[in-house]
Structure formats: structure tokens, C-alpha cells
Structure 1
Amino acid sequence: MTIITFQSVFNICFTKEMTIQTFAIEYDALNDRNTFSNGDTLTGRVIVEITKETKIKDVTVKAKGKADVSWTVSQGEENVTYWDNEKYFSQTQSVLPEDKAPGSVSLVAGRHALPFAFQLPYQGLPSSFKGAYGKIDYRLSANLSRPMRSASKAKVHFTYVSKSDYDQPTLTAPQHGSKDKNVVFFASGNISMEIFLPKSGYQQGEVLVVNGEIVNSSTRKIVPKYIIYQKQSFFAGSSRNVHTTEILKEKGEQLVSSTRQKLSKVLPVPLGITPTIQNCRILKVEYRLKIILDVSFTKNPVIKLPLIILPIDGPAVKAQEAGLFPDLDKLNL
């Protein structure tokens, strides 16, 4: 299997004598999505390029994961900031050769690649995420120390995707919702809908089939609308902040007065979105399917059904290139 290598260079360090030209971290991708998961081994190397022989005290690399949330609200004339964090793991190792003690190493001029390897924890950590008021972040950071010199530093983020820990009955549980409404302003009659989903769990790239029936017994025209949205919830102490983003929106066919319509609407679950996150104490990422009956001059009937979005299982498909999924770059998820 071909190993895809991802390289990112941070903090190119220049001292007065220009001794260290490059100090960077490279790591090796395990798949075409460049993601890591429970128990994976993350391998790579610290790159040091120097112009002349240099004495090194130590070179260390750290792998860590944590979550942070923070937001500020106005309370009268004061601003109050709510924040919290959660640490998942932190592992540090020296990348100097095993037969070299810290403080006794001299590197000759040229390029040096110092290898490292970390095994990520097996327990279910939450997936990488960046939201409106918080993030779940996984990174590698390196530190090079020299006698009588300031340390050189580098860092690079990597994407962690948690393996699903939902049981099969939860993922295959069907969803059902119904709504009934009388139309009374400048019209008369009744509008009703009944919606069914065959299951609750969907992988990114999978199609979601909405079945059901809409009955328009009113004198109004109605238009069904289908929305998949993401709900981000952030927690700090006893406070909570919620942010929602629509990730897919489609319109159905108009129903005129005295019409009954059977539904079998197909919606693509977009690629590139964060899987559902329920295993983080300070933030959650959830998804809903919302079906709206758009009716003039009255409150629209709405049904919301929960969805569990799972990570892609297997090689990434090229459905986006084929135009089957919306462009998510503009959604800033």
C-alpha cells in the first residue's frame, strides 16, 4: 500500500548566524483522506536543516489532543466570558538517537530527518472539529533546544476521526414524525404530513430517503422544503451556547389545494462534514432533518428528525467531482 506523506513546515527559525535554516515536522498519511483513528500509529520525522555543525541539547516531539470552548456575552455594562477545556492525551518523546544522551549531540551541516512514532489511544476520543465557539484539536509539536540559544519550535495539526461506537439497533432505528395544522387566516381547511426515515445512522456520501405523505385539504398552495442542519452545542459550567448551520436545503414540488402527495425524496448526505460528536463533555455536534411545509400567511408546520452522521468507511469516493454533492467550501464547517 502506498504511503501518502503530508508535510507542513512551521516556524522556520533564523538565528543571527543563520545556523538553523529549517525546523519542521512531517508525518505519514494512512489513507487518502489523511485521517487517523483509534489505536492508529502516527509516524513521521522532525526535519532539521543547518548550515554548520551545531551542538544540540535535545529534540523532542509531542502528540496531544484537547478541546476548548469560549464565548463572551454582554450582561449590562459588563462582558462575561465563559470557557472550559478538556485534555485527552499528551505523549512526549526525544527523537535523538538512542545511544546519544541529551546535551551530548552535535549535528553536522546539512539536512537531518529524526524519526518518531506515536500510538494513538484506543479509547473513543472525539473527532477533530472547529466550530463557532470551540474546537477539538489534535497536533504534533516539536522543540529543539541548544546551549545559550532560544529554542526552535514547530507544530502541525492532524485530523482524528473517531470510529463509531453506536450499536446497530441505534443506527438502524427508524424515525417517524407527523404534523397536523388547520389553516384559518384568509383561508380554510387542513394541512397534514407524515414522515418516515428507514434508519437513524448515515455515512457521509450516503443517500437519505424520506418517505411519507402530505395532504393539502386547505385552500392554499404549499411547498415542502427539506433541510439537513448541523447543531453545535458548547458548554462551560452551567452555561450553554448553541449555533446551527444548514448544510443541505432542497425544495419539493408545489401542492395545490385538495392534493394528496406520496413522498419518496432522496437527499445526499454531504461529504466533508464532521461526524456526530456525543463523546465530548464541553461540546456536541448533532444533525437534524427538518421538513417544512411553506404556507403563506400562517405558521409553517415543521417536523424535525434526528440523524447520526458517521465517518466514511473505506476509500473516499469522488461523488463531489461528479456533482452529486454540494460544494461545502462555502459552508465553513
Structure 2
Amino acid sequence: MIDFFKTFMRNQIQMFVILHLGPQPDKCTIDIFLPMKLKLPGIVFSCNQPFVPGQTITGKASWTIERTLTIRTIQLVISGKCEVKWTVGSGNRAKHYKAKEVYFNHEILLYGEPTGESSVSPGSYSVPFTYTLPYNIPPTYQGMHGNVKYDVSLILMKPGIFGKKSYTIPFVVFNRYLSSDVQQRPLRLTAETDKYGCWGGKKGTFKFDINADYTAYSPGQVVYINGYAISESPERKPAEVTLALVLQVTYFGRMTQAMETKCVKTIVTRWKNLDRIGPRLDFQNQSSLVVPDVPESDMRHCQFIKVYYTLEFTLKLPGACSSDLSNASPVTIMNSMSNQQSQHLPPSEPTGMSIPPADRGT
């Protein structure tokens, strides 16, 4: 074993892999530097834009060998997969659920033969390659119980049971959106309720009618609202008004053959406005929450992870015996590449009073 590591340290190899994207390779590259040492160094991304489905990756793998080296193969592996797993219970009663799907696993042989060995002389070497990402792949996702991830792995195989050395780095995939993919329209939230005292007796009526500007947003966008909240109550205590972006993720996994689900609901971000409701609070092109950097909604090409967002408007009613008045509607979250460049148009103010509870909708 000692002789193996001595030989390993003497025979050093420096390897660079450069991936060029699109028609302007100088605009987006991935640089991989792998000296054959015991400790593998880092890999530097210099790409400003994520990958998108259907994009063609072309590149050239180059390496320099300083001393004669015996190897089997040098490979580049580009892969994408989804993995889901969670556990219910503990100890002997624990139930483990999991699922996995592979979208692609493309191996590129840069040098050598899988069945043989070759002695590589000192010098510089270069091998071109190309690969097109499939169209039907989901965007990158990282969650509590599952992920969708894409990797580039550089693998060097030498003779011996400890001859495999590899280094893996992730890359990001975004959905490709067209302007016609999402039909933007105002989003309406309405609700109405009567308030009663702790011992009965009607104390008044609360209602709101709110318009948000869009039904689809990208990270960094501000949600603007118009509308009003009305209190027909003699109480003039402060009432908290909030608008929240709520994320619900459903994971699908198996323990045996039956498919089970695991749902996780999270408030991603919340905007609060503390004001007096009495008799009316108006919102006129009011800037509320800012959409943070969150996963995309569109996971249609993933079988085991579904992502769902809602905008939820809540009016916290005063009094110990009161329940909050709220309503929510689904919204689409796209990626930062899909940010609209057009100027923001504020939402229109709702016309008329809030609609009856039986007819609520968006």
C-alpha cells in the first residue's frame, strides 16, 4: 500500500476540461482542473447563465502529463437524476420511503480503452466532445426530502483496486420559457365574514377585495396590490394585514409497491401592514412582498416531486374569540431568466364590493 501511494504521488497528471455553451463559447464556460494528487482541488464555474433543456454543450478536454503514466481510461460523465426519500417512525418500526429516476447519464470516453491499459507519454493532449441536453427534463430542485440535480463528473481509472479517482460538481438547469407559456392576468382575492363576541351576538362584518398584479412571478419581482379591507364594526383596534407566498411540495415515494406521499407546507415570505381597519383600509398600487430565490413551479417532467405556490391574503381580526379572515389563490413561480423586461403595470382597483362567499374565486 505504501509503494502504491509513493507511485501515485510521483505520477502527477494535470487535466483541464472546458465546456463551451452556445454560439459564443467565450461567454459561458466551465473550467475543471484536476491534478492527480491525494487531495482533489475545486472546480470553478465561470458561467453566468444556467443551462436550459435542449441546449447543446460543446467543448474540448485537454490535459498535460508531466511523467509517463499507466492508465485505463479518462472519462467525462454528464448526468441528471431525481431522488426522493423520507422516514416515518423510528427504530424497528421505522418505514423508509424512496424513489429515483434518471433523466440521462452520458459517458464520454476522453482517452484509453475500458478493457486495456496504456502507457501515456509526457505531453499535452486534447479531445473534442459535444452533448445536447434532453428537452423533457425538470429544473434543478433541492428540498427537504428530495432533489433534482445535474452533475459533471471527471473520472480517471488507473490499474488496481484503488485506481479510480473522480471529482463531481453540480450545474443548474432552468426551464425554458416563452412569452406565450404563461398568460398573465390580475389575481383577485376576496373574503367576507361576520364577527361574533365570545358569548354570541354579532359585533360586525369584515371583508376584503384585493387584486394582485400578476398570476406568475420570477425571483426578485415585487408583488403590487390594489383594493380595500372594510370593517363594519364599532371596534377600532389595530388589525394586522398580511400577504404571504406559500410553498407546498409533495414528494412521492415507495416502501414496497404502493406509492405514498409526503407534503411539506412552508411560508416562503410574508409582507405585513399594521393599520387600523375602521371603517376602510385602501391599497393603491401598494408594493408588498418581494419574491425570493425559490424553486420553479413547473416540475412536469419529474414524477416524484410536485411544487405548488399560492398567494394568501389574511386579515387578522381583533378580539380573543375571532378567527382570521383569509383567502388564497395559486400562482406560478418562474426562474430569474424569465423576468419580464417590460415596465410594470399596476393592478386595477376592484370594482364593487366583495362577492358572496359561495362565489369566491380568482
Query: Could you tell me the TM-score, scaled by structure 2's length?
Result: 0.72
Q: Deviations over 1:86-144 (max 9, x none)?
A: 22112111112xxx766464334477665543211123x11101001000010112221
Contact 2:240 2:275 in 1 (8 A): yes
Contact 2:74 2:156 in 1 (8 A): yes
Aligned to 2:328: 304
Contact 1:43 1:118 in 2 (8 A): yes
Evaluate the alpha carbon distance shift between residue 248 and residue 12 of structure 1 in structure 2; reply closer, same or farther with a 3 A threshold. Answer: farther
Evaluate the alpha carbon distance shift between residue 256 and residue 115 of structure 1 in structure 2; reply closer, same or farther with a 3 A threshold. Answer: same
Question: Which of 201, 208, 223 pairs up with 2:223?
Answer: 208
Q: Structure 2 counterpart of 1:289, which letter?
A: L
Contact 1:216 1:255 in 2 (8 A): no
Contact 1:178 1:195 in 2 (8 A): yes
Contact 1:290 1:305 in 2 (8 A): yes
1:170-209 superposed matches below 5 A:
170-185=182-197, 188-209=203-224
Gaps of 5+ in 2: 1-23, 342-362
Gaps of 5+ in 1: 15-20, 318-333
Answering whether residue 308 of structure 2 is matched by residue 286 of structure 1, we say yes
Evaluate the alpha carbon distance shift between residue 307 and residue 314 of structure 1 in structure 2; reply closer, same or farther with a 3 A threshold. Answer: closer
Question: Which of 262, 271, 274 pairs up with 2:295?
Answer: 274
Contact 1:61 1:93 in 2 (8 A): yes
1:71-82 superposed matches below 5 A:
71-74=86-89, 78-82=93-97
1:227-242 superposed matches below 5 A:
227-237=244-254, 238-242=259-263
Q: Structure 2 counterpart of 1:223, which letter?
A: E
1:23 & 1:55 partners in 2: Cα distance? 22
Per the alignment, in what secondary structure is the counterpart of residue 183 of structure 1? strand
Contact 1:57 1:146 in 2 (8 A): yes
Aligned to 2:347: none
Alpha-carbon shift at residue 209 of structure 1 (Å): 1.9
1:73 & 1:148 partners in 2: Cα distance? 42
Evaluate the alpha carbon distance shift between residue 112 and residue 27 of structure 1 in structure 2; reply closer, same or farther with a 3 A threshold. Answer: farther
Q: Structure 1 counterpart of 2:98, which letter?
A: W
1:287 & 1:26 partners in 2: Cα distance? 33
Per the alignment, in what secondary structure is the counterpart of residue 316 of structure 2? strand
1:50-199 superposed matches below 5 A:
52-74=67-89, 78-96=93-111, 103=116, 105-109=118-122, 115-123=128-136, 125-148=137-160, 150-164=163-177, 167-168=180-181, 170-185=182-197, 188-199=203-214
Q: Number of aligned pairs?
A: 303
2:51 & 2:291 partners in 1: Cα distance? 20
Q: Structure 1 counterpart of 2:108, which letter?
A: Q
Aligned to 1:42: 57
Aligned to 1:221: 238
CA RMSD, Structure 1 to Structure 2 (Å):
3.3
2:286 & 2:29 partners in 1: Cα distance? 41
Evaluate the alpha carbon distance shift between residue 77 and residue 302 of structure 1 in structure 2; reply closer, same or farther with a 3 A threshold. Answer: farther
Per the alignment, in what secondary structure is the counterpart of residue 275 of structure 2? coil
Q: Structure 2 counterpart of 1:52, which letter?
A: R
Alpha-carbon shift at residue 146 of structure 1 (Å): 2.3
Identity value in percent: 19
Alpha-carbon shift at residue 191 of structure 1 (Å): 0.5
Per the alignment, in what secondary structure is the counterpart of residue 189 of structure 1? strand
Q: Structure 1 counterpart of 2:252, which letter?
A: F
Alpha-carbon shift at residue 257 of structure 1 (Å): 3.0
Answering whether residue 275 of structure 2 is matched by residue 254 of structure 1, we say yes
Contact 1:23 1:152 in 2 (8 A): no
